[in-house]
Chains A and B, each alone.
Chain A
Amino acid sequence: MTRKAVYVVACETLSALGFGSEALKISLRENYCAVEPIAQFCPEGLTQQHACEVKQEMLSGFQFKESMWHDTALHDRKFELWAALLERYQSTITETFSQFPKNRTGIVMGLGANAFPVQGIALQVKEPSASGLYKAIELINQVNTQKGNTIFNHADLYAHYLQELVGPVGYSKNILTACSSSTQAIAFAAARIMADEADFMFVGGTDSILNQFAYISFGKLGVLTEQQCRPFDVNRSGAIAGECAGFTVLVSEEGLKRLNKREKFQLLGFGNSLDAFKITAPDPTGHGVETAIRKSLEMADIQLENLDYINAHGTGTRSNDEVELRAIERVVGDAAEKIHVSSTKDRHGHCIAAAGILEFNVLLCSMEMGIVPANLNLEKPIPTPLLLPQHENHEKNIHIALTTNFAFGGVNCSLAVKNLSI
């Protein structure tokens, strides 16, 4: 079948680089780095003590203050970020949804793991000493937040909350593939439009691992650094934790007409693949990463000489970056010398399941501004023919670009985007 075109008409994020695309652009242009000592809990005594946190007050005008949603936001940082984002853009989102028949719309969320058990439940469960399990439920919660809630958080809550605001939608689904969740959410939403099954798809993502339990366990897993995050540096030592909530709106040609919008970006293609290697480590051959990138280029029908930039996954970990670079090199071959590659995780941190939505927005903003974001902390690059801009952003009209994300367990996703404004 002939694939229908997919256009991107909106993308907004709340991250340590600011609230909304305009703030994100300023942060990118000024090379603002949001790494600071953790404020959400006291990190004294931990090996790692820094992260990229959202600092502003988020719940001031939050709706449903007396309802379970408020309790949820108090307990679940992911939900707090999501609610704040929707609060700011609610009128635009509601208006946009209202332009489409319900059966031509959908919501796809990219999310991380469940929140930890909550205090309300913990207080209701049996005598804590009854078993290790019950004790754990109560005690995890005490360590984790001290804030309290009444429900054990559920992945579907995020989309249901959105529907509380905008009314019922055709369907909503949650994609749960860790660091590639929201990237895959964009891909799977795009597929619906390509197959002419929808005209309007709302894609959201939200995640935060900035709680003691998750932060400590990720730290012990060896993926976090206390030094600067240096993607693609020979001396890289790990990622910095981040947090984000974001959304993007994908529409068909018919959707553009309904919204009376001018096309600015087209999502040309996507590619998903599996390493099928080990859950504990990425495939050192990078075959799965290569396949995802290759598939996105093939679906997009891009000539390699027209590919300007890749916003890479680039976690700054020992295991990821070189494998990723080598995979890109194999795909692009001789075109490598003209393609810029950078990772912006050095300044906004690794937002896990929301990494994809934030980096998608970073890519769109970079395209709008005509800059390739620098690899801020890159001092000694891994030898590669690819162009790795260091320290300062590189002025460049980005016509066609990719953004990639890869998850624990070897779930790989690549998206190909075309800037229609140049």
Chain B
Amino acid sequence: MRLCVTGYTYLEKDYTCDNDRFHRQDSLCPNSAPYVEVLPGLKARFRNFHIDTAHPYFPKTSDLKVLRPDTVAAIIMTQSLLENLNISTEERKEMMLLVANSNFIDDQVLDFDGISRAIEKIQGASTHEEKNRLLNAEISPLIPLRTLTNGSESFIAQYTQILGENTTYGSTALATAHALSDANTFIRLQSASSALVGGTHFANLFSFLNHYLLIEHAKGYSESSASCFLLLESEEGAQKSQRKVLGYISDIQYNEALPENQKVDWLFIGGAFSEMEHQRILEKTTVIKAKNTFSWFPYTGNMGCAELGMMISSALQWMTTGNVASIYLEDAFGKYVTLNVEKA
């Protein structure tokens, strides 16, 4: 079965679905984020997006104390997408929501200075009892909510009122592919007729710590915060909803041998964290014969769980009707997914 894409939205530092830069491949700019030393002798660069606090869909102040920045972005983007597509309250009640997250620890909302302060205080404690009392006095009860793995999913649900089948996946780039696969499964089972599927990624030291030892070559390590969501339906569902089909997703396969001499119009590759990783993936995928090959890595760095959505969105924006793209996405463990995207 082919999944129909009837809507998409994305946000990265320089590339958003409503700015011109993304609409043409030749207008993309090489990543110019500065390198910072994260470990002795190892530098990395991180890109982070700006969120417009005056946006009409910016979340309520009372929620900000537990909201990670990538979740704020996701809340704004998903509300905008559903409103732009005039999706009714009734449809939202049955809609599936599948969210992939890369990083659950951020250094903005989690109050690391407070945590440091708390732990600093206990260094002088002479007994377990004193240590525990000091810790108990300083540790925020909000930590479980600030690090809640389904935080993005639950906040998106709260603000969009999507109530249907749902889950959160983590935590490599492949998690978003699993979300696509499950949307396909549930739509086939008729447990859902439409699904909002996407991923968010917050690039910071914690994400770096989560990944750098897993990859062989960390020199030139680059990450970017990003968020991307797709609205997916069956062909029958899209006909019924009368939404314009933008493209089709098919043939999602995990860790299968790459199809030698497959001819496609475009090849999108992703998942690299460093320049050498990027080159390795580029070489590995040369068996796929494509007229054009593209990777977001030189422009943004790794976008974690948002990368697959960004690749699909760019395929749909840059291809012409009938063009087919093959997508190859690898995670930090070397597992990979391939899938096809066809422009409607």
Residues of A within 8 A of B (CB): 1, 3, 42-47, 103, 111-114, 117, 121, 124-126, 132-133, 135-137, 139-140, 142-143, 150-152, 154-156, 160, 168, 170-178, 181, 184, 188, 191-192, 194-195, 197, 212-214, 216-222, 272-280, 288, 291, 299, 407-411
Complex: chain A residue closest to B188, CB-CB: A195
- Chain B residues at the A interface, C-beta cutoff of 8 Å: 37-40, 63, 66, 97, 101, 104-105, 107, 112-113, 115-117, 119-120, 122, 127-133, 135-136, 139-145, 147-151, 153-155, 157-158, 160-172, 174-175, 178, 182, 185-186, 188-191, 205-206, 209-211, 213-214, 254-256, 331-333, 335
A contact residues around B205 at 8 Å (CB): 133, 137
- Which of A136, A221, A273 meets B141, CB within 8 Å? A221
- Shortest Cβ gap from A120 to chain B (Å): 9
CA distance A289 to B163 in the complex (A): 11
The residue on A at minimum CB distance from B63 is: A279
Q: CB-CB < 8 A to B119: which residues of A?
A: 135-136, 139-140, 142-143
B150 / chain A contacts, CB cutoff of 8 Å: 176-178, 407-409, 411
Query: B132 to A212, Cβ gap below 8 A?
Result: yes
Contacts of B128 in A (CB 8 A): 42, 44-45
A216-B104 contact given A139-B120, A143-B119, CB 8 Å threshold: no
Instruction: Find chain B residues with CB under 8 A from A195 CB.
Output: 185, 188-189
B residues near A220, Cβ cutoff 8 Å: 136, 139-141
Q: Can you pick out 26 interface pairs between chain A and chain B where the beta carbons lie within 8 Å of each other?
A: A44-B129, A45-B129, A46-B136, A113-B104, A114-B147, A114-B171, A136-B113, A154-B210, A173-B175, A174-B175, A176-B168, A176-B170, A178-B148, A213-B135, A213-B143, A214-B143, A216-B135, A222-B141, A273-B163, A274-B157, A275-B154, A276-B163, A279-B66, A279-B154, A409-B155, A411-B150
A126 contact set on B, CB distance < 8 A: 37, 39-40
A197 contacts B149, C-beta separation under 8 Å: no
Query: Is the Cβ of B163 less than 8 Å from the Cβ of A274?
Result: yes
Inside 8 A of A291's CB, which chain B residues have their CB?
A: 163
- Contacts A136-B115, A139-B119, A217-B141; A274 near B97 (Cβ below 8 A): yes
Across the two chains, which residue of chain A brings its CB closest to B159?
Answer: A276
Question: Are the CB atoms of B182 and A191 closer together than 8 Å?
Answer: yes
Chain A residues whose CB sits within 8 angstroms of the CB of B333 once the complex forms:
156, 160
B175 surroundings in chain A (CB, below 8 A): 173-174
| CB pair B163 A279 closer than 8 Å | no
Chain B residue at minimal CB-CB distance from A108: B178
Select one of A3, A176, A218, A279 contacting B155, CB under 8 A.
Answer: A279
CA distance in complex: A152, B105 (Å): 12
Q: B135 contacts A152, CB within 8 Å?
A: no
Q: How far is the CB of B137 from chain A (nearest CB, A)?
A: 10
Report the bound CA distance from A170 to B105 in whole Å.
30
Additional pairs, 11, CB under 8 Å, beyond known A154-B171, A276-B157, A279-B145: A45-B130, A124-B39, A139-B119, A175-B168, A191-B185, A194-B189, A195-B188, A274-B157, A276-B162, A299-B191, A409-B155
The answer to whether B144 and A214 have CB atoms under 8 Å apart is yes
Chain B residue numbers with a CB within 8 Å of A217 are 139-144
Residue of B nearest to A112 (CB): B149
Task: State whether B144 touches A221 (Cβ < 8 A).
Answer: yes
Report chain A residues within 8 Å CB of B144. 113, 214, 217-218, 221, 408
Given contacts A156-B333, A191-B191, A411-B154, contact A170 B161 (CB under 8 A): no
A220 to B331 Cα, complex, angstroms: 37
Query: CB distance A176 to B171 under 8 Å?
Result: yes
Q: Are A176 and B188 in contact (CB under 8 A)?
A: no
CB within 8 A of A277: which of B107, B115, B140, B158? B158
How far is A81 from B143 in the complex, measured between Cα atoms in Å? 24
**Known contacts being A113-B149, A174-B170, A276-B157, is A46 close to B132, with CB within 8 Å?**
yes
A47 near B129 with CB under 8 A, answer: no
CB-CB under 8 A for A279 and B116, given A1-B188, A191-B185: no
Known pairs A139-B120, A171-B255; A1 contacts B210 (CB<8 A) = no
Q: Return the chain B residue nearest A157 by Cβ.
A: B333
> Chain A: which residue is nearest B189 at the CB level?
A195
Docked-complex contact B154 and A114, CB < 8 angstroms:
no
Among all A-B residue pairs, the 9 with the closest Cβ atoms: A409-B154, A220-B141, A45-B129, A176-B149, A45-B132, A139-B119, A132-B113, A171-B254, A42-B128
Determine the chain B residues whose CB is within 8 A of the CB of A410 once the complex forms. Answer: 154, 157-158
Please give, as numbers and ranges, the residues of chain A lying within 8 Å of B141 by CB-CB distance: 217, 220-222
Q: Which residues of B contact A218 (CB under 8 A)?
A: 144
CB within 8 A of B213: which of A117, A125, A150, A156?
A: A150
Given contacts A45-B128, A45-B130, A191-B189, are A176 and B169 in contact (CB under 8 A)? yes
In the complex, which residues of chain A have a beta carbon less than 8 angstroms from the beta carbon of B135? 143, 212-213, 216
Residues of B within 8 A of A42 (CB): 128, 132
The smallest beta-carbon distance between B179 and chain A, in angstroms, is 9
How far apart sit A278 and B182, CA to CA, in the bound complex (Å)?
A: 26
Q: Are B206 and A152 in contact (CB under 8 A)?
A: yes
Closest Cβ neighbor of A198 among chain B residues: B185
The smallest C-beta distance from A146 to any residue of chain B, in angstroms, reads: 12
Instruction: Evaluate contact between A274 and B154: CB separation under 8 angstroms.
Output: yes
Residues of B within 8 A of A124 (CB): 39-40
* A132 in contact with B167 given A174-B175, A197-B185 (CB within 8 Å): no
User: B residues within 8 A CB of A274?
Assistant: 97, 153-154, 157, 162-164, 166
CB distance from B337 to the nearest CB of A (A): 8
Q: In whole angstroms, what is the CA distance A217 to B141 when docked?
A: 5
Q: How far is the CA of A291 from the CA of B162 in the complex (A)?
A: 13
CB distance from B201 to the nearest CB of A (A): 14
Distance between B133 CB and nearest chain A CB, rounded to angstroms: 4
Residues of B within 8 A of A288 (CB): 163
Are A279 and B185 interface neighbours, CB within 8 A? no
Q: Report the Cα distance A227→B167, complex, angstroms.
A: 33
Evaluate contact between B178 and A411: CB separation under 8 angstroms: no
Contact A135-B116, Cβ < 8 Å, known A44-B127, A273-B163? yes
Q: Report chain A residues within 8 Å CB of B63.
A: 279
In contact, B167 and A177 (Cβ under 8 angstroms): yes
